[in-house]
A and B are shown apart, each in its own frame.
Chain A
Amino acid sequence: MNNFTVEATELTRIYGGREAVSNVSFNLSKGEVLGFLGPNGAGKSTTMKMLTGNLAPSNGSVKICGIDMIENPKEAKALIGYLPEMRPLYKELTVDEYLTVAARLHRVSSGHIKKAVELAKERCGLGHMSKRLIENLSNGYQQRVGIAQALIHKPMVVILDEPTVGLDPIQIRDIRALIREVGGDHSVIISTHILPEVEMVCDHVQIIDKGKLVFNGSIDVLKRQRVGNKLLIGLNNTPNADELLKISGITDVEILPAGFVRLTFAGDAAPAEAIVLASVKNKWGLHQIAPDQTSLEDVFVQLTYQEQAVSQEQAINQEQAVS
């Protein structure tokens, strides 16, 4: 018996002959936060709908804590808290009424409903909004109600589809903290296209593009990819590229505007000190030196772009083979 909370096996969903999601498999253990990344229309929401039983997969299976979603939907759904992309709020109800309904529908025993509602409100910072109609709440507060609704029955797996969309920076910070907190004792799956967010809250990352998983691994792997062997230096008197290349370990020089230079160095060389010394000696006027990280965006673009390049190559090869 393993202790995976979510097991997705070869999930495939076909919309009118087109595969919106194809062969997505992954496992999630207790206490992990999984980030789902992907460009628009990549199949993030479709995958989430299948995980929560809102959409029947064309092929493959979903197991929540070992319970099959297709065979025992009720038991499996009881273990999930889900916030879809469009918040499913009944705007004519007050926050308290809505959360009470959510608690009842999710089988919170009648004695505990009041406590569960209070706890969910407290966690999502909704305490002073209890008696307000959801319709009159601001966008950010509505989002919090949506999240509260997903957490109310203390589910094993919390699935949030783009939870920080439309929030102000402070609310985003709160929500991220909340996701981390929830991730402590539940499993969390969030989808987003804000990359730093993934870095901040997730242990695991999956990048999905055109319905296929292109990356599946721990966040550290992704972070390692982005720390490159590059230095960004700022010089007041920029010398010729040749002079910079003389410094041992430097393999490539790229002159950028405004006196900045990007240096690429060989694998394990540490040329920083040599650069500073050379700068002092030759009066280059060094005012900045920093490792030049490829941003997560670049890694993301690389991963999704590589896939395209490969498939294009394949297409060309096939064409050649045919002709």
Chain B
Amino acid sequence: MIINVARKELKSMFASPMGWVILSLLMFAFGTQYLNGVNDYFAVMSGAMRPAERTGVTQFVGQNVYGFASFIVLFAVPLLSMRLISEERRNQTLPFLFSAPISLTEIVVGKFLGLVAFLGILVLFIAIMLSTLNIWADIDFGFIVANSIGLLLMVASFSALGVYFSSLTQQPVVAAILTFVALFALMFLDRFFAGDPSNTLANLSLTHHFQSFSGGLIDTGDITYFVLFIVTFLTLTVRRLDADRLRG
């Protein structure tokens, strides 16, 4: 049943120009970044004489693209997640889902997975784009896999937060702004505590947990953080929708 809700979400996403426009614009931006990365690689490496200064092409271009991607999804996810529940609330289509034989959890998880699947297309495309480097060079696929997993987890966390804010309001724009502000705060939390890396608050930062992935390291601690983050906000969303049913 979760799959059916997710399929419905994906269908809605692609039924409007919004989905296509965001997908193509993002791919255009990532493609440009990729191209710049490749160009810069030759410029920088021809200047780097000592072996210690040299990095592999995968890492150089990869960090360029993934670093940029992790920043740009900060803007893209709120735009996509804003309408998930708030628009249904506004158009009064929620009864359609509520009166179908599916639980609230299935509805919320389905919507979340629909959005993650959509964003997963981006992550997959980036990975394919970087893999094309393999035609000219011998690239490090492990690095790309780790980054893809990290980016997907981060995007999923963003989505979970977006779904929650979307469930709070009837206005998609309000949901988008709230999501953006919250994500922005979470992203740059570690900048504020840069002097004290052991600070607990800095540990809440999403970028902080993405860093190990961007270095090519799959850390179960970071995975746990993302998973907990997702579960927390999805649970809050379910509770918010349940309150609708109880309080009306």
Q: Which of B60-118 contact A (CB under 8 A)?
A: 91-103
Interface size on B, residues (CB 8 A): 25
Does B7 touch A at the CB level, under 8 Å? yes
Question: Min CB distance, A229 to chain B, in Å?
Answer: 46
Q: Is the CB of A92 within 8 A of B5?
A: no
Instruction: Flag whether B39 is at the interface (Cβ < 8 A).
Output: no
Residues of chain B lying within 8 A (CB to CB) of residue A101: 4, 7-8, 11
Count A-B pairs with CB separation below 8 Å.
82
By the criterion CB–CB under 8 Å, are B101 and A93 in contact? no
Residue of B nearest to A77 (CB): B101
Contacting pair A84 B95 (CB below 8 A): yes
Report the separation of the CA atoms of residues A29 and B97 in the bound assembly, to the nearest whole angstrom.
26
Cα–Cα distance between A92 and B11 once the two chains are bound (Å): 9
B50 contacts chain A at the CB level, 8 A cutoff? no
| A159: nearest chain-B partner, CB-CB | B99
* Bound: A92/B95 CA distance, A: 17
- CB atoms of A13 and B248 under 8 A apart: yes
**Chain B hits for A74, CB < 8 A:** 101-103
Partner of A82, one of B7, B8, B91, B99: B99
- Is A197 located at the chain interface by the 8 A CB criterion? no
- Given A15-B248, A84-B92: A92 and B103 interface contact (C-beta under 8 Å): no
A92-119, CB under 8 A of B: which get 1 and which 0?
Answer: 1100010001101111000000000000
Please tell me if the beta carbons of B101 and A88 are within 8 angstroms of each other in the complex: no
In the complex, the chain B residue whose C-beta lies closest to that of A93 is B15
Q: Which residues on A sit within 8 Å (CB–CB) of B4?
A: 101, 104-105
How distant is B106 from chain A, measured CB to nearest CB, in Å? Answer: 9
Interface residues of B in 7-21 (CB under 8 A from A): 7-8, 11-12, 15-16
Name A53's contact: one of B12, B91, B92, B99 (CB within 8 Å): B99
Q: Which residues of B contact A13 (CB under 8 A)?
A: 248
A55 within 8 A of B: yes
- Selected from B5, B11, B12, B95, the residue in CB contact (under 8 A) with A54 is B95
> Hey, which chain A residues are within 8 Å of B52, CB to CB?
none
Please tell me if the beta carbons of B96 and A149 are within 8 angstroms of each other in the complex.
Answer: yes
**Chain A residues with CB under 8 A of B1:** 105, 107
- Residues on A lying within 8 angstroms of B by beta carbon are 13, 15, 46, 49, 52-56, 73-75, 77-78, 80, 82, 84, 86, 88-93, 97, 101-102, 104-107, 149
Q: Footprint of A on B, CB under 8 Å?
A: 1, 4-5, 7-8, 11-12, 15-16, 91-103, 245-246, 248
